[in-house]
Structure 1
């Protein structure tokens, strides 16, 4: 006798189901024990006195970084250009984004994307960008 009939004759379906149940219950018990490890170790270890966190110096916004940005794209670009003056003529978008986060400017991704679409922010290669010279 071969095939499915042999499996049926030897109670193979019941053994397969029992094996799957044993494995799943073992995994459930193991995951429960692993999730309890932090609680068990916290009972064994002594907690040191929590130290007061050091005060974090907040970056101060300059006169050129307002609470809300104006609607005019050129005015917003002027604010962003003042942030990049100390970075030099060519800078990376990662540095510009970090600087805008420090100054808590709203929606830096959207503003940077609008600058790129308008041609105000020009790629210079190797992930570097610069501002388009104003045509005044």
Structure 2
């Protein structure tokens, strides 16, 4: 006798079902034990250390930007010079644009272009710029 009739005759279907149930219940017990491991290890440890709290960053205070910048280029240059004090003496326009966006200044492209055309913002090569020394 061969095939499905032989499986039926030897109680193969019952054995296959019982085997599947045994395997699935074993896996369920194993997964339960694995999920309980952290609780068991905390009982064994003498001084469980709490997880360190992440550092709290201070919120950045941003002053509200004016609706428009003054028409006087020297005043505009003074505002932009204050922004570049943190960057350094020589800075890239990308850093200057990033600072103007943080401070929410209106029309940074136009203002920087006006400062370049007036010779107040001097190129230093390799995309870096600096301020023209003031004649005070």
- TM bin, normalised by shorter chain, reads 0.5 to 0.7
TM-score between both structures, scaled by the size of structure 1: 0.53
Alignment partner, residue 135 of structure 1: 135
Q: For the Cα contact (< 8 Å) 1:90–1:129, is it kept in 2?
A: yes
Report the Cα offset of residue 118 of structure 1.
0.3
Q: For the Cα contact (< 8 Å) 1:59–1:103, is it kept in 2?
A: no
Unpaired runs of 5+ residues, structure 1, are: 1-56
Deviations 1:15-74 (A, max 9, x none): xxxxxxxxxxxxxxxxxxxxxxxxxxxxxxxxxxxxxxxxxx565128xx5443111010
Deviations 1:106-134 (A, max 9, x none): 00000000000000000001110000011
Cα distance in 1 for residues equivalent to 2:61 and 2:109: 20
Q: Give the superposed CA RMSD.
A: 1.7
Unpaired runs of 5+ residues, structure 2, are: 1-58
TM-score between both structures, scaled by the size of structure 2: 0.53
Q: For the Cα contact (< 8 Å) 1:60–1:103, is it kept in 2?
A: yes
Cα distance in 1 for residues equivalent to 2:110 and 2:61: 22
Alignment partner, residue 63 of structure 2: 61
Structure 1: which 4+ aligned runs deviate by more than 4 Å?
Answer: none
Q: For the Cα contact (< 8 Å) 2:66–2:106, is it kept in 1?
A: no
Alignment partner, residue 120 of structure 1: 120
Paired residues in the alignment total: 78
Distance 1:59 1:93, change over 3 A: farther
Cα distance in 2 for residues equivalent to 1:130 and 1:58: 26
Task: State the secondary structure of the residue aligned to 2:68.
Answer: coil
Q: For the Cα contact (< 8 Å) 2:63–2:103, is it kept in 1?
A: yes
Task: State the secondary structure of the residue aligned to 1:82.
Answer: helix
The higher radius of gyration belongs to: 2
